A and B are shown apart, each in its own frame.
Chain A
Amino acid sequence: MQLLDVTLLSLQTALVATVGMAIPAFFIASYLVRNTGRVAFILDLMVSMPLALPPVAVGFVLLWFFGATGPLGPLSEGLAFSWVAMSIASAVVSFPLVVRAFVAGLGEVDPRLVFAARNLGAGRLRATWDVILPLAKRGIAAGLLLGFVRSFAEFGATIVFAGNIPGSTQGLPSAIFSRISAGDFSEAWSLAAVSIVIGGIALAVHNRLVAQQRNRMVARSGSNG
């Protein structure tokens, strides 16, 4: 059944992209939240670039980057036009959103609490695990969900870098595009409906997490006086 196949492929793509983004986004966000120097400025700019570019251009850059003559060409033979390429394209486009959400979540953790853990004998990783993650968990979950939602909806960079090969690199967005191009509107509508339901649920959970994080913040700053 084609509807199920493209949906599963899109879910898989988005899930792999999200999981792949989590750790690098966490480290970059941790750096950005602590530092304000020139390095942080340039890093932030680089990470945020995909927000400013048309996704089609991002796909084009990726095609060159992983292509035979690109910097990663020798290592990435056959990568373009595969489902892995779909995940990479989704991840690159979603990455700035995840980093931004993580920065917001991590920014709410008082650095003195982290230092308190270090002072009591915790190493950097241990303090991250014991203090930062529990206190920023809603912000982190919200960032991951946002990344998932954006990846799930990704079209422009994906179609350039991974193509639109039915049964191989055709996810929900590109399947909708193909149906519309072919004039098959009823099929396009059912695919769009699936997008709306899955995207809507993920977004609702995300919004709830953000609201909870904000409420906790307000409650804490109130009780500390």
Chain B
Amino acid sequence: MRGSGKPERESALLEIENLHASVEGREILRGIDLRVNVGEVHAVMGPNGSGKSTLAQVIGGHPAYAVTAGSVLYQGKDLLAMKPEERAREGVFLAFQYPVAIRGITNAYFLRSALNAVRKARGQEELGPVEFMDALEDKLKVIGWDDSYLNRPVNDGFSGGEKKRNEILQLAVLEPKLAILDETDSGLDIDALKTVAHTVDKLRRPESATVLVTHYYRILTHITPDFVHVLSGGRIVKSGTKELALELEEKGYDWLREEAAVG
């Protein structure tokens, strides 16, 4: 990653090198380099179609995206060789931009199944329904939900804001090491945004890291990023600190494209 120095190898959680990826034969990512260390918050910004969501999906392991070149190491291991569920069990969490509705399956059943799959992989004991509900109580409080949401089918009939909160609830329950939030802020009103942002902030732990993929600056007023990267045309065209995000807020993305074209 340009301009961010060389951190200690031990603290690197995610190392992306020269990543190229395509969907339906179209190349979207054209050489991404990014290093995320534990304890850090990164913001990946960029205009529509710049490849932000593709980057998130490739890290999550979406089957429709083909990696054509480059490597992704997670805790020193080849992330790309892992199935989506293995990534999740190793502590990679992707909050979906468009969470999927699962009809007929209650939120509670789904969450418990997921948590137990992850716990089992970590060598922890699986939780029974009662223990699970106990463990869940605090997490629900964090996002301001009562347990009526638990008996509803996963995301089925949820509003946009409810779906996003549900993603954050899953984040809280699964306690990942690396959380990728794919436009979790989009489509939220100001109050919902605050709740989601504060929850994410509260859930930060020194041994974990967060990557916020976003189009807008506003979520960054609630969660301060250590680094900001700007994606354009499938590459990181600029990296910096929070000030870069502010600059983008003021000038939009066009000037970057011009700069890139000139440079």
- A and B co-occur in one complex: no
B interface residues (Cβ-Cβ under 8 A, vs A) = none
